């Protein structure tokens, strides 16, 4: 470890490690400080690789295969005998993937000349041209002051806890606990019908839990396009997720090994009992131990580090990225911001396009979108035209037994410019990348109509949705609007 670097990155999650790698590529001397210990070992990769995106997707895949083997293979004439789940083996597979990826990040840092400092980083002083960062080693708690020309704060986020449902680590858990249940809970309660509630609720439901999801808001998936949210609500309900909207949990306590949950819907209270309860009501920026009191950094009222569009803080040469700052809490957003900050330090001028950040909810089918919803486009004053296409009329989807959901495009009726793409379909997360690329190139609906999409693919539904915006979808009867 040196005591002077060009750049010190605090936090080794997707935002921080990507920034550190890019800086290494550009020839800077870089330290990445990360304090995480995962299952007894210091670990890079942040929330995303250790307890977020990757382990949740590993469990979503295992549970999907289980459900498919149990309920779908028969349709193909395949018989399997009794299908059972070995939860320990499933978790072992998940851990293997996490280890492979976090180990890979450690190798990438090393290969790019980045020093991984295992411990806590605290910005002591960011005001002058020489920044001061305190490093407290995990190993022996020794403290060293490091100086750097630039600092990137990438400390991420942690789950929000609510006083009515205090975590006990066994029965009442957050998303991290819900990735490690040793057995399938018979009855599972979930507080929050957001991304985590739907993904992890789906995992355990597929494996056999009866799942009740409490959501305080009256509207389901308020951030999604209404048509997609409605379809999602319908499909998830059909799968067996019992989603209770407009219902607040007022108390949750452990009694005789069960969690007793009291909830309030329109003033009427009810009590139910669960083996486990997951609290997933959002995440908050994590800045404990990150900032010395007089380091000079400004925070917002919500405790985020205040930054501009280029992730610059109020202090020259100090940047902040990812979950620690405004915008959606998504790994790909953190990564792009990390890259932008480093390249700006290097004198280049990249800019993250916040209008084309994709959202994906990895249920089955997946729910994904990019750009404006129909409602948001109208609110912004656009004269809107939309087109949508049902997967029930897509040959590939039917051949795969996936004929559920729809793909929708939202456009400016005056200019024909694509403003958003929304999908609930098998592979929706990949499908909407077409919308992202089209929007980056300021494409029109006509551009999507004029391209040749391969047959049979799910992407054909993008083509048909674009055609449908002008009343000319081929595999749907459209008599109203024609061009």
Out of 93, 149, 248, 472, the residue judged to bind ligand NAD by CB under 6 A: 248
Q: Which of 66, 107, 117 is nearest to 90 (CA)?
A: 66
Q: Which of 395, 393, 399 is nearest to 454 (CA)?
A: 395
Rounded to whole angstroms, the Cα distance separating 15 from 343 reads: 13
Selecting among 171, 346, 364, 455, the annotated active-site residue is 455
54/466 with CB nearer ligand NAD? 54
231/460 with CB nearer ligand NAD? 231
Q: Which residues contact 120 (CB under 8 A, 6 or more apart)?
A: 33, 35, 134, 135, 136, 138, 289
230 binds ligand NAD (CB under 6 A): no
Subset of 105-164 contacting ligand FAD (CB under 6 A): 120-121, 154-157
Subset of 183-202 contacting ligand NAD (CB under 6 A): 191-197, 199
- Smallest gap, in angstroms, from Cβ of residue 216 to ligand NAD? 4
- Smallest gap, in angstroms, from Cβ of residue 1 to ligand NAD? 33
- Smallest gap, in angstroms, from Cβ of residue 194 to ligand NAD? 2
35 binds ligand FAD (CB under 6 A): yes
Token digits of residue 18? 């990507």
Place of tokens 């054909």: 460
Binding mask 153-172 for ligand NAD (x = CB under 6 A): ---------x----------
Binding mask 317-356 for ligand FAD (x = CB under 6 A): -----xxx----xxxx-x----------------------
Concatenate the DSSP letters of all residues of 276-312 into one string. EEEE-S-EEE--TTTB-TTS---B-TTSPBP--TT-B
In this structure, the dihedral spanned by the alpha carbons of residues 72, 73, 75 and 81, taken in order and rounded to 10 degrees, is -110
Rounded to whole angstroms, the Cα distance separating 194 from 444 reads: 32
329 binds ligand NAD (CB under 6 A): yes
Contact 31, 5 (CB under 8 A): yes
Q: Which residue is nearest to ligand NAD (CB)?
A: 194
**Is 475 considered catalytic here?**
no
Concatenate the DSSP letters of all residues of 227-239 into one string. HHHHHHHHHHHHH
Concatenate the DSSP letters of all residues of 67-81 into one string. HHHHHTGGGGT---S
Residue 214's binding partner among ligand FAD, ligand NAD, none (Cβ under 5 to 8 angstroms by kind) is ligand NAD
Burial class (CB in 10 A: 0-12, 13-18, 19+), 255: exposed
Contact 317, 325 (CB under 8 A): no
17 binds ligand NAD (CB under 6 A): no
Out of 330, 335, 439, 461, the residue judged to bind ligand NAD by CB under 6 A: 330
55/317 with CB nearer ligand NAD? 55
Judging by DSSP bridges, how do beta strands 418-425 and 366-371 pair with one another?
Answer: antiparallel
- Smallest gap, in angstroms, from Cβ of residue 280 to ligand NAD? 4
Partnered with residue 412 across adjacent β-strands are: 384
27 binds ligand NAD (CB under 6 A): no
- Smallest gap, in angstroms, from Cβ of residue 394 to ligand FAD? 25
Rounded to whole angstroms, the Cα distance separating 284 from 156 reads: 8
Q: Which residues contact 142 (CB under 8 A, 6 or more apart)?
A: 136
Task: Provide the annotated active-site residues.
Answer: 455
Enumerate binding residues for ligand FAD (CB under 6 A): 10-16, 33-36, 46-48, 52-53, 56, 120-121, 154-157, 175, 196, 286, 289-290, 322-324, 329-332, 334, 362
**What residues make contact with ligand NAD under the rule CB under 6 A?**
162, 191-197, 199, 214-217, 248-249, 280-283, 328-330, 360-362
């Amino acid at each position: 470890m040196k005591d002077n670097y060009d750049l010190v990155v605090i936090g080794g999650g997707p935002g921080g490690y990507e920034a550190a790698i890019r800086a290494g590529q550009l020839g800077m001397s870089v330290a990445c400080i990360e304090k995480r210990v995962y299952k007894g070992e210091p670990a890079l990769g942040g929330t995303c690789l250790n307890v977020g995106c990757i382990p949740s997707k590993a469990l979503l895949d295992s549970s999907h295969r289980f459900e498919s083997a149990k309920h779908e293979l028969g349709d193909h004439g395949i018989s399997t005998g009794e299908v059972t789940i070995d939860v320990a083996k499933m978790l072992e597979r998940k851990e293997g993937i996490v280890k492979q990826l976090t180990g890979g990040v450690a190798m990438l840092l090393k290969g790019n000349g980045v020093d991984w400092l295992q411990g806590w980083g605290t910005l002591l002083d960011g005001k002058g041209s020489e920044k001061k960062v305190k490093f407290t080693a995990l190993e022996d708690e020794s403290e060293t002051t490091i100086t750097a020309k630039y600092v990137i704060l990438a400390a991420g986020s942690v789950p929000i806890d609510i006083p009515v449902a205090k975590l006990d680590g066994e029965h009442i858990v957050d998303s991290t606990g819900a990735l490690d249940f040793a057995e399938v809970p018979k009855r599972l309660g979930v507080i929050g019908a957001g991304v985590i509630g739907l993904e992890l609720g789906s995992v355990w439901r597929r494996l056999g839990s009866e799942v009740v999801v409490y959501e305080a808001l009256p509207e389901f998936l308020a951030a999604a396009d209404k048509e997609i949210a409605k379809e999602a609500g319908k499909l998830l309900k059909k799968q067996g997720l019992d989603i209770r909207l407009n219902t607040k949990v007022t108390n949750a306590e452990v009694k005789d090994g069960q969690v007793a949950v009291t909830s309030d819907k329109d003033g009427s209270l009810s009590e139910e009992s669960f083996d486990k309860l997951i609290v997933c009501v959002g995440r908050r920026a994590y800045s404990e131990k990150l900032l010395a009191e007089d380091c000079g950094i400004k925070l917002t009222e919500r405790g985020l580090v205040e930054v501009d569009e280029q992730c610059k803080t109020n202090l020259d040469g100090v940047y902040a990225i990812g979950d620690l700052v405004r915008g959606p809490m998504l790994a790909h957003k953190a990564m792009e911001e990390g890259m932008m900050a480093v390249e700006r330090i290097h004198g280049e001028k990249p800019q993250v396009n916040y209008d084309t950040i994709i959202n994906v909810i990895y249920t089955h089918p997946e729910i994904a979108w990019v750009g404006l919803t129909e409602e948001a486009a109208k609110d912004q004053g656009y004269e809107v035209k939309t087109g949508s296409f049902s997967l029930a009329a897509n040959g590939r989807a039917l051949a795969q037994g996936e004929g559920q959901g729809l793909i929708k495009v939202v456009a400016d009726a005056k200019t024909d410019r694509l403003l958003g793409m929304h999908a609930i379909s098998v592979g929706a997360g990949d499908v909407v990348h077409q919308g992202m690329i089209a929007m980056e190139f300021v494409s029109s609906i006509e551009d999507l109509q004029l391209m040749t999409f391969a047959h049979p693919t799910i992407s054909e539904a993008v083509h048909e949705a674009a055609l449908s915006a002008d009343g000319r979808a081929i595999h749907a009867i459209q008599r109203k609007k024609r061009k």
